[in-house]
Amino acid sequence: MSDQMKDRMKDIVSLCKRRGFIFAASDIYGGINGFWDYGPLGVELKNNLRDRWWHDMVIAPPLGLDGTPISIVGLDSSIIQNPKCWEASGHASGFNDPMVDCKESKKRYRADHVVVLIPKDGQGYALAFDKDAEDIEIEKRLKKLAKNKSISDFDRKSLDQIPVEDFPNIIAPDTKKAGTLTEPVQFNMMFKTTSGAKEGSDSEVYLRPETCAGIFLNFKNVLDSSRVKVPFGIAQIGKAFRNEVTPRNFIFRSREFEQMELEWFCAEEDVPKWFDFWVEQRTNFWLSLGIPKSELHFLDVPKEDLSHYSSRTIDVEYRFPFAAPDFDELEGIAHRGNYDLTQHQEFSGQKLDYFDQAENKRYLPHVIEPSTGLTRGVLALICEAYTVDENRPSGVYLNFHPSMAPKKAAILPLTAKPHHVEPAQKLYMELRDEFVVDLDIKQNIGKRYARQDEIGTPYCFTIDNETLEDHSVTVRDRNTMEQQRIPLDKVKAFLREKIYG
RNA sequence: GCGGGCGUAGUUCAAUGGUAGAACGACAGCCUUCCAAGCUGUAUAUGCCGGUUCGAUCCCGGUCGCCCGCUCCA
């Protein structure tokens, strides 16, 4: 990360706290790593993004491949589910990678990623290598550290299969002497808690590490109650929890976060076209919120990096300041196959297949999953909106799309005198049922404009002497700082036009 | 989890082994017919715990948190 972008992140974090967007959780106790609270403006911004996603997915889904509206229904499943659910999904095992550290090289390895060569004759040291190490490299190192022996003189074993008592005899991958590896440490990516007042292992439960599981668990319930037909989608927004090893970069990687996930169920043969469809839809979503195409990047995730369930994934990446000039993940669009339904069907013993009346066949639909972090989206919107402008008093303004701005408008009486304040209060009362608006009376007008700039309010309506004469107000545009005069009774229409397009 | 850096008002910074100062911000008031103007005033800080010391914000240890690099991100 460049120094300039490092400063940019610092400035953004500082503004977020100063103006009430985002605070460290448990701030007065010194904070808690990986958790964040959303302040008065942060919650408005987050709700705006959440509502927009829900609207575009569930209330008014896009037109499908044939030009007719597709079918998507909503869901809000529980954060805690039957623990068997996580065995089926692969999280219970997949989230528990034992790690070993090397005291010498200070490196850390996944135990199952390290292969150990054990001498067949039981003489001399065992040597550890990265599991992908080439034979040539291995022979080279054997020459130095195990004279007179070659690969054929050793048995191979994964490090996680070797008892800790034997560790002192192992030469770690990046060292020359034995006994530098620490005991394997378990990393539990899932938060564990207990259900029921009485603590005990049989009531151990997990906070969901992703929201999508609840969708698969309810696949049959939705089918049986909603008259949906494949292809269709189930959408969900909610919190998920992961014990990240290293929470980093403000709210980008936190341990408690919010996801917006759609599981799109379709026939296997239709996967390619629906996949492209969703990549396009999701891209348009971010573009429409003011994220320019130049700041987005589409990563066709290489095969070796794909999750265990996915055969294709495209990451929609945004140029976050901490990643610049590179990008980091904002949304993932994954083809999950029918992995999840297959697993849950097997583990639960319940039939989850879909019966297609027209084709007269049963099958497990394939799934395309556009999954995005709501809280990551919030960060992207803030980073994108943050605009330095030395020509204005605040020095900076937040260039939010009007539909995303936490406050749509501020109503400002030019002075604190009653003849300005009273009409302002009246306008405020007229607007506040439909728009989130501020009424700010105190201090000089410049200060108030500056404050609204800094929180990204797109419009300020100012009541002055002319208002009393001809029932007009000035509208100040946040981005241009220019003003125009419009009739008082056109203010609502003006805002509707600007916000909803 | 490892290594390095850091922790002083809301924010950004300053200072000191004898308990802290500014700017901006906030608040109250005056003034004010359009961009943080001017004036007066107010409140607010040494992350937490322990040690050394007559005395610690400063030195030491621990802890928590933040930043950077590894590792991790199924």
pLDDT digits (tens, 9 = 90+) for A6-19: 778 888 999 999 99
Between CA A128 and CA A175 the distance in angstroms is 9
Best-predicted range by mean pLDDT (A96-105, A167-176, A423-432) = A423-432
Residue A244 pLDDT exceeds 90? no
Tokens for A426? 């009246």
Query: What integer is the mean pLDDT of A441-470?
Result: 92
Give me the pLDDT at residue A315, please. Answer: 93
In whole angstroms, B22 C1' to A446 CA is 24
Say if residue A241 is in the same domain as residue A368. yes
Rg of chain A (C-alpha set): 28
Give yes or no: residues A129 and A162 share one domain.
yes
Domain boundary among A328, A359, A384: A384
Inside any domain, residue A392: no
Let me know whether A449 and A343 are in one domain: no
Q: CA A255, C1' B24: Å apart?
A: 34
Instruction: State the greatest distance between any 2 C-alpha atoms of chain A, in Å, as a whole number.
Output: 102
A418-431 vs A491-500: helix axis angle to the nearest 10?
A: 50
Q: Which nucleotide is nearest to A95 (CA to C1')?
A: B74
pLDDT tens track for A278-313: 999 999 999 999 999 999 999 998 877 777 777 899
Residue with the bigger pLDDT between A168 and A290: it is A290
Is pLDDT of A201 > 70?
A: no
Q: Which nucleotide is nearest to A307 (CA to C1')?
A: B74
Regarding whether A355 and A276 lie in a shared domain, the answer is yes
In this structure, the answer to whether residues A350 and A217 fall within a common structural domain is yes
Indicate whether A391 belongs to any domain: no
Give nucleotides in strand B with any atom < 7 A to a protein C-beta: 1-3, 7, 10-12, 25-29, 31-38, 47-48, 64-74
Q: Does A402 score more than 90 pLDDT? A: yes
Q: What is the mean pLDDT of residues A116-142?
A: 79
For position A105, what pLDDT does the model report?
66
Between A183 and A472, residue with greater pLDDT: A472
Residues A490 and A369 in one domain: no
Residue-number span of the structural domain to which A18 is assigned: 3-94+192-384
Count of domains observed in chain A = 3
> Nearest nucleotide (C1') to the CA of residue A252?
B73
**pLDDT > 70 in chain A, percent:** 95
Residue A390 domain-assigned?
no
- A255 with A183, same domain: the answer is no
Q: In the listed set A165, A187, A209, which residue is the last one of a domain according to the structure?
A: A187
Q: What is the DSSP string of A392-426?
A: STTSEEE---TTT-S-SEEEEESSSSHHHHHHHHH
Q: At A166, which amino acid appears?
A: D
Query: Are A344 and A337 spatial neighbours (Cβ–Cβ below 8 Å)?
Result: no
**C1’ B52 / CA A183, Å:** 37
* Mean predicted confidence (pLDDT) in A359-374: 94
Q: Which is more confident, A98 or A56?
A: A56
User: Is residue A83 one of the residues assigned to a domain?
Assistant: yes
Of residues A127 and A259, which shows the higher confidence score?
Answer: A259
Task: Provide the pLDDT confidence category of residue A137 given band limits of 50, 70 and 90.
Answer: confident
Query: What's the CA–C1' distance between A10 and B63, in Å?
Result: 25
> Once rounded to an integer, what is the mean pLDDT over residues A190-217?
84
In chain A, what percentage of residues exceed pLDDT 90? 59
Q: Tell me, what's the pLDDT at A313?
A: 92
